[in-house]
């Protein structure tokens, strides 16, 4: 039995994911970035995270050759930044949403969190590459994170944990 791609995509759209903007700077000093919802912690010891990037993306070569990259976990009010970094054929940095932050990488100052990484390795993941980063520096803000689910941006809703015990 083979899985129909459209059914797989529809099922995966139901899985909430964080909205992140990954950024890097190439050896020529050019900034690169993309929006992703496939981001996760991988290990505490050593501290590792992963983010997935389509092999056909215009940013793929820059990230594949990068020594360092930043994951900006967007805050609930930053959907416009996510849309900007998801667009093709535009200068994603023109709006001035990033500044040099941890490790000098392009960071979003009011992000819910930032994770600056040294590239640990790149793993093949079908039509995507899995970028594994060794965490070098972090920042955690106060704003709630932006979430992507059912093909739209969502805001997390706090539940009363005591109610579910």
At 98-133, the pLDDT tens digits run 999 999 999 999 999 999 999 999 999 999 999 999
For residue 122, count CB atoms less than 10 angstroms from its CB and return exposed for 0-12, middle for 13-18, buried for 19 or more. Answer: middle
Q: Note the helical H segments in the chain.
A: 5-13, 60-64, 79-86
Domain locations in the chain as residue ranges: 5-164
pTM higher than the cut 0.85: yes
Residues 105, 116 contacting (CB under 8 angstroms): yes
Query: Pick from 58, 1, 73, 55: which is nearest to 26 by CA?
Result: 58
pLDDT at residue 5, rounded to an integer: 87
Q: Which CATH number does 5-164 carry?
A: 2.30.110.10
């Amino acid at each position: 039995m083979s899985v129909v791609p459209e059914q797989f995509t529809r099922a995966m759209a139901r899985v909430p994911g964080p909205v992140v903007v990954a950024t890097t700077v190439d050896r020529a000093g050019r900034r690169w970035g993309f929006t992703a919802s496939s981001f996760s912690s991988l290990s505490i010891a050593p501290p590792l995270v992963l983010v997935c990037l389509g092999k056909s993306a215009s940013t793929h070569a820059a990230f594949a050759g990068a020594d360092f990259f930043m994951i900006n976990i967007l805050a609930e009010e930053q959907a416009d930044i996510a849309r900007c970094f998801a667009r093709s054929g535009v200068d994603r940095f023109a709006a001035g949403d990033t500044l040099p932050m941890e490790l000098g990488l392009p960071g979003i100052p009011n992000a819910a969190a930032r994770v600056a990484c040294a590239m640990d390795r790149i793993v093949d993941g079908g039509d995507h590459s899995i970028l594994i980063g060794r965490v070098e520096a972090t920042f955690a803000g106060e704003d709630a994170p932006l979430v992507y689910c059912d093909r739209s941006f969502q805001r997390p809703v706090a539940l009363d944990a005591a109610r579910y015990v």
